[in-house]
Structure 1
Amino acid sequence: MRRILLGAAMAAILTGTGLAPQAAQAQGSGFQPVVYVNDAAVTGFELDQRVRFLQLLRAPESSPAAAEKALIEDRLRLFAARQFGISATDEQIDAGLVEFAGRANMSVEDFTAALARAGIEQQTFRDFISAGVVWREVVRQRIVGQVRITDAEIDQEMQKIIETPQITHVALSEVIIPAPEGQEDAAMDQAARIVAGTNSEADFAAFARRYSATESAGRGGRLPWMPLANLPPSLRPLVLSLQPGQVSQPLTIPGAVVLFYLRDTRGSLRPGASEQVLDYVRFTLASEAEAARIVGISDSCEDLFVHARELPPQQIERQTLSQGQIPSGEAVRLAVLDDNEATVVSSGAAAQILMLCKRTPALMAEPELPEPAMTEAAATDAEPAPPDPNALPAREEVRNQIFNRKVGQAADAYLAELRANAVIRRP
């Protein structure tokens, strides 16, 4: 929930829209406790406020049950912080308020004024930020130092990137809900209900036929296949963030609210993605029997060199070549081998061992070339080179992605552990 910041939600705040009448129907009343978490109470007032806050942010889950779950998790975060002796300073909370409001290009004063128009007190906002501030410090102290990323994990992630087609075409369905002046909030509420109620293309199509104000409504909102490049640049990240079968969060445009359902995608591999570089050993021996014996006791390419240490160096050779550079006879035999797997090739009286040490995508094997030197005058006049859409991310970037994912997973697991060990009761 900490990561929720929807473009449509911020648009709603910026326009100062309030909540629909049903927004404040949280369970509980006043300051009476509705649930205790390790003896820390969650009141009906807090629950009502969190429902309003989540609905104003257009969070996918903003029901009273979802708001109560979020408040229970905040109590658990604060409990863990106390266990570590962590508390949030006013300066840290103020910085968090500024950062959160800044995502909507608003000052804290304007943001809290928008909250006030929706009946949300500033303290609700501060409590939300405070729980996040202390939890980040808990995660830093308890989890961050334990997360390790290996080169093998980075290699695996980069290979996955190489093997994943780049999306070139998309099949979308749309729902466009009219939002004339004064009815924007009702349109956003309807869009939120469509998002929550869509579990399949058939669900989305039914909503499109009922609510959409475009000619595609009769087709269940279905649009023809289109190149991704045909979409406005501002829409491409939104579409690329979806998996087939998912609905976008509501997008506000003048006079309407738009939803997209991603039916399918088409793509192609980046140039060079299917090319490989092979690191392998060719070991010549006097007989097929001797070759078979050495293969039987060798688990890696390094083992072959141990067995060859008393032999002339010309009998064993290790090479790293692209597939096109390897003699076809050897290339065919290497094609069926996994890393550190070997085969014996008989050639009359002698025999050869071919062992594959490592198979690497060519894009990962290519060395990074230094940038050409540039004179001061040329540097002044040079236009910045456009980014290469086919370029792989840098290894450090991939490492950071893996690191953040692992930290997030470990933090979620720790929160689940806190909940399992907590005493949660109702009055």
Structure 2
Amino acid sequence: MRHFLSGIALAAVIATGAGAPALAQNLFAPVVYVNDSAVTRYEVDQRMRFMRVIGAPDASAAAAEQALIDDRLRVQAARQIGVEITPEGLQAGLEEFAGRAGLDAAGFIAQLERAGVEDGVFRDFVEAGTVWREVVRARLLARVTITDAEVDQELQRVIETPIIDRVLLSELIIPAPPGQEAQALQLAERISASRPTEAQFAEAARQYSAVPSAEAGGRLEMLALDNLPPSLRPIITALQPGQTTQALPVEGAVVLFHLRDAQGTLRPGAREQVLDYMTLRLASAGDAAALAARVRNCDDLYVQAGDAAPQVQRQTASQGAIPQGIAARLASLDADEAGVIPAGAGADLVMLCSRQTALAAQPQVATTALPDDGVEAAIPQSATPGIPTRDQVRDRLFNTRINTAAEGLLADLRADAIIRRP
């Protein structure tokens, strides 16, 4: 397996020599109209070839036709609001896309031409994507907002997600001798696009794989993630158990991997918490209970405490640094909830303001105006390796939400369009 793994590159895979399907006599006959804009059979064939080159999971005629329909709708929507791409903008888009494969635009176009794809297909693809971004910006940007609470929740999820360090894989390695590369790639793409179950992948491995693991349905023993080539690790960790990679061409073969299971460990400090809390000593448990019943949130405690407000103490500390009695009471409280702890003849009112994972805690946690309240000592002042910043989390959430909104807008355009066949 190592021989094949060592040849896998993280950059976009450039397939070679994909054979064209049999075409009808008239290559330029329309196959579908999108608001009176024709999509021809030749365009569908060219888009299929292009999709194979860029490693699309589904490069069928149906997928290519749908992609062309969507691109027509994107360009039409752009024209309706006066968006047009400049030559400079188009060239920048070509260079940016080609850069994902480690090439410049000219080099990428040369690779496409060797695979039988005209450069205009690449240009049309990039133009549709570029003007669509402007449509999305104009029509959707102002509608998408990310709250601090959503950032907190996502950051917590990231921190509590185990770091994958061991994987159970199945492999399927299809030989691709000279002259048969396209056939091997197409077979691998069909298997991957079918989204096989573990049993279906095992059956395909026994039928097509050319390595000894084929007898076991491609099943491999548990592997340390670090034992995989660095370029393959992000491909594997991007999978969920039960998913299969896209076809990965290597020298002399095309490889597929199916993730059966992934195991990991929590990052150090993932369970440690930092608490922002308040305490106030009162004359009796009754007084403390009455105040606890009135107070609505941490800021309100200063108001409800009245003359005792100067005695309110607010601090931020890690769990281990909080006195045991107070920590035990805080454990059962939600944010802005108060409790009572007996203290000799009197009682302490304890109120939780916020609870954060230590790795996610930020220096801007609400504090009193007092200069030394423990915040600086309790919260890490430098970014923790592997933990995204709040800005990075916000950007990720925003991108996910704007992409979802863009898909919704495109669906609306499809619903409103007149799409017909000759």
Give yes or no for contact 1:76–1:418 (8 Å, CA) kept in 2: yes
- Matched position secondary structure for 1:401: helix
Q: For the residues of structure 2 that align with 1:34 and 1:249, how far apart are their CA atoms?
A: 29
What is the deviation of 1:73?
A: 0.6
Asked if the contact 2:245/2:257 (under 8 Å) is kept, the reply is: yes
Equivalent residue, structure 2, for 1:379: none
Aligned counterparts, 1:160-175, within 5 A:
160-175=157-172
Query: What secondary structure is seen at the aligned counterpart in 2 of 1:364?
Result: coil
Are the equivalent residues in 1 in contact too, given 2:11–2:100 (CA < 8 A)?
Answer: no
Aligned partner of 1:247 among 237, 244, 249: 244
Which is further off, 196-205 or 39-48? 39-48
Q: In the alignment, is residue 297 of structure 1 matched against residue 287 of structure 2? A: no
Residues in 2 aligned to 1:42 and 1:403: alpha-carbon distance in whole angstroms: 34
1:41 aligns with 2:43: no
Find the residue that maps to 1:248 and give its secondary structure.
Answer: coil
1:128 correspondence with 2:159: no
2:220 alignment counterpart: 223
Match runs of 1:328-367 below 5 Å: 328-347=324-343, 349-365=345-361
Whether the aligned pair in 2 keeps the contact of 1:9 and 1:56 (CA below 8 Å) is: no
Alignment of 1:400-419 (within 5 A): 400-419=395-414
1:276 to 273, 276, 282: 273
- 1:195-245 Cα offsets, whole Å, 9 max, x none, are 022331111111111111112111111111121111122221221121111
Contact 1:176-1:259 within 8 A present in 2 as well: yes
In the TM superposition, 1:188-207 aligns within 5 A as 188-207=185-204
Closer, same or farther in 2 for the Cα pair 1:26/1:50, shift >3 Å?
farther
Does the CA-based 8 Å contact 2:34-2:418 persist in structure 1? yes
TM-score between both structures, scaled by the size of structure 2: 0.86
Amino acid at match of 2:338: A
Q: Do the aligned residues in 2 keep the contact of 1:191 with 1:259 (CA within 8 Å)?
A: yes
Tell me how far apart the structure 2 counterparts of residues 28 and 99 of structure 1 sit (CA, whole Å). Answer: 37
| Equivalent-residue separation in structure 2 for 1:421 and 1:181 (angstroms) | 48
Deviation at 1:25, TM superposition (A): 4.8
Q: Are 1:88 and 1:130, in contact at CA under 8 Å, matched by a contact in 2? A: yes
Identity of aligned residues (%): 54
Contact 1:143–1:411 under 8 Å retained in 2: yes
Aligned residue number for residue 19 of structure 1: 18
C-alpha displacement of 1:28: 9.4
Q: Return 5+ residue gaps in structure 1 as ranges.
A: 1-5, 369-386
| Contact 1:26 1:51 (C-alpha < 8 Å) held by counterparts | no
Question: Where does structure 2 lack aligned partners over 5 or more consecutive residues?
Answer: 1-7, 365-381
Query: Is 1:170–1:226's contact at 8 Å kept on the other side of the alignment?
Result: yes
Residues 366, 57 of structure 1: alpha-carbon distance in 2 compared, 3 angstrom cutoff: closer
> Are 1:264 and 2:261 matched, yes or no?
yes
8 Å contact from structure 1 (residues 50, 67) kept in 2: yes
- From 144, 156, 159, the equivalent of 1:159 is 156
Which secondary structure does the structure 1 equivalent of 2:218 belong to?
coil
Q: Is the 8 A contact 2:12 2:54 kept in 1?
A: yes
Taking structure 1 as reference, are residues 349 and 403 closer, same or farther at Cα in structure 2, changes over 3 Å only? same
Amino acid at match of 1:319: Q
TM-score under structure 1 length normalisation: 0.85
Name the CA shift for 1:226/1:308 in 2 (closer, same or farther; >3 Å).
same
CA deviations 1:284-305 (Å, max 9, x no partner) are: 3333333333222222111221
Q: CA-atom RMSD, angstroms?
A: 2.6
Q: CA deviation at 1:349?
A: 4.5
SS in structure 2 of the partner of residue 365 of structure 1: coil
Counterpart position of 1:285: 282
**Residue 319 (1) aligns with residue 318 (2):** no
Whether the 8 Å contact between 2:383 and 2:389 is mirrored in structure 1 is no
> d(CA) in 1 for partners of 2:345 and 2:410?
67
Distance 1:68 1:27 in 2: 15
Evaluate the alpha carbon distance shift between residue 205 and residue 153 of structure 1 in structure 2; reply closer, same or farther with a 3 A threshold: same
Contact 2:33 2:419 in 1 (8 A): yes
- What is the alpha-carbon distance in structure 2 between the residues aligned to residue 86 and residue 392 of structure 1? 38
Q: Residues 119 and 227 of structure 1: is their aligned pair in 2 closer, same or farther, counting only changes over 3 Å?
A: closer
Do the aligned residues in 2 keep the contact of 1:270 with 1:390 (CA within 8 Å)? no
Relative to structure 1, the CA distance from residue 8 to residue 240 in structure 2 (aligned partners, 3 Å threshold; closer, same or farther) is closer
Which of 387, 391, 406 aligns to 1:392? It is 387
